[in-house]
Structure 1
Amino acid sequence: MVLTEKQEALVKESWELMKQDIPLHSLRLFTLILEKAPAAKDMFSFLRDTDEIPQNNPKLRAHAAKVFKLTCESAAQLREKGEVVIADTTLKWLGSVHVQKGVLAPHFEVVKEALLRTIKAAMGEKWSEEMNDAWAEAYDQLAAAIIGEMQAEAAVSSNPIS
């Protein structure tokens, strides 16, 4: 399903506002992910040796910003392009890294919940159920693209070419 015109407008409007403070919103996203799934910190080399979320960790800040920006930008262009558009090499890399780190499809639901809560907090009074639904649809399409690449990577890994 492609976003409706109204959903696209809601996603783009909220992304424009969130772009003004990516570090704040991206750290909130990762804080929420790790609150919901504390074991996920073991998937990140820069978080393994700590019992808390180090807000000032430069590697966490950089990674969180990259994830948040990629997610939001892919959502913002979804209707225009008709599909999730990420460079093939980036999508293949995402699939490979997610497989290597042991990410499973249910993990994407944790991230989705954290993303929606992050956007809701960022939007304040501008938040609506319509905005929630627009972001949920956009995220689901991005997650499906990454999961598809993970499945392709896993199939190649389990059947190496001789």
Structure 2
Amino acid sequence: MGFTEKQEGLVKESWGVLKQDIPHFSLRFFSLILEIAPGAKNMFSFLRESEEIPQNNPKLKAHAVKVFKMTCESAIQLREKGEVVVADTTLKYLGTVHVKSGVKDPHFEVRFYFIFLIIN
């Protein structure tokens, strides 16, 4: 299933804004999730036992940037090649981590919703 021209334009516009300051927007993205759904904190091994304010957690900052960069690279690949190529070991690792953390399909829907919130 491909994007319509309008959808592709919206994605390009969003990434144009996000790429201007990936560290800021990526941390804002995860901070909004944790603010609206505090229970999500337990899905992150490096936040579970921490009493530190999530925005000050260096591991959350590093994780947020890594996720956004991977997403950005995937979007570029999809646009340029029509597919996303990720090593099988990376996909298996990500799948294992997400299953162990209790991530379900609806959690991903929430993530995409928040991307639009942080750029507005």
Classify the TM-score, shorter chain. 0.7 to 0.9
Paired residue secondary structure (1:59): helix
Unaligned runs of 5+ in 1: 122-162
Unaligned runs of 5+ in 2: none
| Counterpart for residue 63 of structure 1 | 63
Residues 1:18 and 2:18 aligned together: yes
RMSD: 2.2
Q: Percent identity?
A: 69
On the 8 A contact 1:36/1:110 being kept in 2, the answer is no
Query: Displacement, 1:76?
Result: 3.1
- What stretches of structure 1 move > 3 A for 4+ residues in a row? 4-10, 50-53
Query: Displacement, 1:59?
Result: 0.5
Query: What is the one-letter code of the residue matched to 1:110?
Result: V
Query: Displacement, 1:8?
Result: 3.6
Distance 1:75 1:57 in 2: 27
User: Structure 1 residues 53 and 2, CA, compared in 2 at 3 Å: closer, same or farther?
Assistant: farther
On the 8 A contact 1:8/1:76 being kept in 2, the answer is no
| Counterpart for residue 107 of structure 1 | 107
| Counterpart for residue 38 of structure 1 | 38
Query: Displacement, 1:101?
Result: 1.2
Q: How many residues align?
A: 120
Paired residue secondary structure (1:79): helix
| Counterpart for residue 75 of structure 1 | 75
Distance 2:70 2:80 in 1: 16
On the 8 A contact 1:34/1:41 being kept in 2, the answer is yes
Paired residue secondary structure (2:95): helix
Q: TM-score normalised to the size of structure 2? A: 0.81
